[in-house]
Copies of this chain bind each other. A is one copy, B any other.
Amino acid sequence: MSKEITSREADYSQWYNDLVLKGGLADYSAVRGCMVIKPYGFTLWENMRDQLDRMFKETGHVNAYFPLFIPKSFLSKEAAHVEGFAKECAVVTHYRLKNDPNGGGVVVDPDAKLEEELIVRPTSETIIWNTYKDWIQSYRDLPLLINQWANVVRWEMRTRLFLRTAEFLWQEGHTAHATKEEAVEETEKMLDVYARFVEEYMAVPVIKGVKTPSERFAGAEDTYCIEALMQDGKALQAGTSHFLGQNFARAFDVKFLTKENKLEYVWATSWGVSTRLIGALVMAHSDDQGLILPPKIAPLQVVIVPIYKGDEQKALIGEKVDEIIKELKALGISVKYDDSDNARPGWKFAEYEMKGVPVRIAIGARDLENKVAEVARRDTKEKQTLPLENLAGQVKNLLDEIQMNMFNKAKSYRDSHITEVNDWAEFERLLDEKGGFLAAHWDGTAETEEAIKEKTKATIRCIPLDNKQEAGTCILTGKPSTQRVLFARAY
């Protein structure tokens, strides 16, 4: 096998890169920090996107498209926002190249300097709220429930495929409401949509919570999040939903006439998930043999590999497989028949294992005689011999079972990695030895939060929604506290 994967134990980080690259999800590009999403990885993204899009539409949202560029001055209109994004943005300063008069190829044409620089959007609150100003006059124009699928750019210094790239794909919802209550409700509703998607489709359990002030989105009054746990014990923020208050409405002067004929600022939310979710998916489920992808979003759900000697056997098997494929497709199952002569069955098995195809069916000449097939599931690697009679129906049930099993396995790992801690030495020890979420008391100050981060690299991932209130003392300072929060090292 040419495609050796580093084991998780040997080097977790290299294992992740191996899976992404060798599993055919993505590739490095010639542009620093930007990746190429390969066809297999992009089909995975399409499946995720299409399902999320359905869920957004079911909850009353429509899609639109806003400009890639944001005038520099817009960014500055919301004070916290510019603070958060100015330090890592791609800046367009010119609109033309010209031939180098000294013969050095093409160079920037100094005569084509923009009057005002344009920022490649790192997020679109500013350009969108500048537009909403024209769209919102009265309460009749509200709520405005708009989503955008787009590429965004944040000039991160240290990048990782999918997890942190300079350019990434995402969706960003931007809604406008007449009341604070309605905006808060929307923020929570979309957090629920994300949680449902990540759990039901990606088979990754999440904890819903709110961020501390220092971890909030730049410009938000409250940031809600879903936090997932990876196999190395590190947390990963899988999606955020922001209650923006009236901050952007004030910054862009967006007021509406209420039913009572008064002019008031509009209330806002924004919420987003990105291709980063693919990184979470890879790290939550996969093993040392390759990707393990949940059936509901896998690019390919079933692969069929024939085991044959000679053209006659191949033709016979092929005939039967055509029937099986027809049945599978009728049940909405995606399937590929790999009867290429380029590789032996063993090589193909390893290849599809690497790519995380949930179910593999192998059929040989003897199987055909016995009217059976060998069916292997990727998640547990169990193989079973199943009758060809109603094979598609059995495979459908198996796919459902795999989906459920993957979630349960991830959940049991996650649940066993939420630990209540009351002692600082224990806190530090557990972070190093076990990882996961540490439920500990915190005195509620940004200073303590920062000090803990400095000492341990652990951050407060969230304050879980409906958190139990209990008296306690801060894990670091011993000051009084009323609830535990979840600490973890994170991606």
Residues in A lying within 8 Å of B, measured CB to CB:
27, 29-31, 34-39, 42-43, 45-46, 62-76, 82, 86-99, 105-106, 108, 117-120, 127, 130-131, 134, 140, 146, 150-151, 153, 155, 167, 169, 342
Contacts and interface: CB of A to CB of B under 8 A. Distances in A.
A29 B89 contact: no
Contact of A90 (B46, B76, B95, B167): B95
A92 B90 contact: yes
Contact of A93 (B35, B108, B130): B108
Nearest to A152: B68
Nearest to A94: B91
Nearest to A92: B90
Contacts of A150: 151
Contact residues of A: prevailing secondary structure: mixed
Given A30-B127, A89-B97, A92-B91, A82 B63 contact: no
A131 B91 contact: no
Contacts of A146: 39
Contacts of A88: 95-96
Contact of A72 (B86, B106, B120): B106
B97 A67 contact: no
Contacts of A62: 39, 42-43
B106 A95 contact: no
Copies of this chain per assembly: 2
A168 B80 CA distance: 31
Contacts of A73: 105
A36 B148 CA distance: 11
B64 A36 contact: yes
A68 B106 contact: no
A34 B67 contact: yes
Given A74-B30, A93-B108, A95-B155, A42 B68 contact: no
A71 B31 contact: yes
Contacts of A155: 95-96
A97 B87 CA distance: 6
Contacts of A127: 29-31
Given A91-B93, A91-B96, A96-B155, 12 more contacts: A31-B69, A31-B70, A31-B71, A36-B131, A39-B62, A68-B151, A82-B106, A86-B106, A91-B92, A92-B120, A93-B108, A150-B151
5 contacts: A29-B66, A68-B153, A69-B90, A75-B106, A97-B119
A348 to B, nearest CB: 14
Interface-central residue, A89, A92, A155, by most chain B CB under 10 Å = A92
Contacts of A72: 97, 105-106
Contacts of A134: 27
Given A72-B97, A89-B95, A96-B89, A167 B31 contact: no
A153 B90 CA distance: 15
Nearest to A76: B105
A64 B89 contact: no
Contacts of A119: 97
A354 to B, nearest CB: 17
Contacts of A39: 62-64, 146
A98 to B, nearest CB: 7
B93 A97 contact: no
A387 to B, nearest CB: 33
A55 to B, nearest CB: 16
Contacts of A46: 63
Nearest to A156: B95
Interface-central residue, A37, A86, A89, A91, by most chain B CB under 10 Å = A91
Nearest to A63: B42
A115 B114 CA distance: 20
A342 B141 CA distance: 12
A175 to B, nearest CB: 13
B96 A86 contact: yes
A375 to B, nearest CB: 27
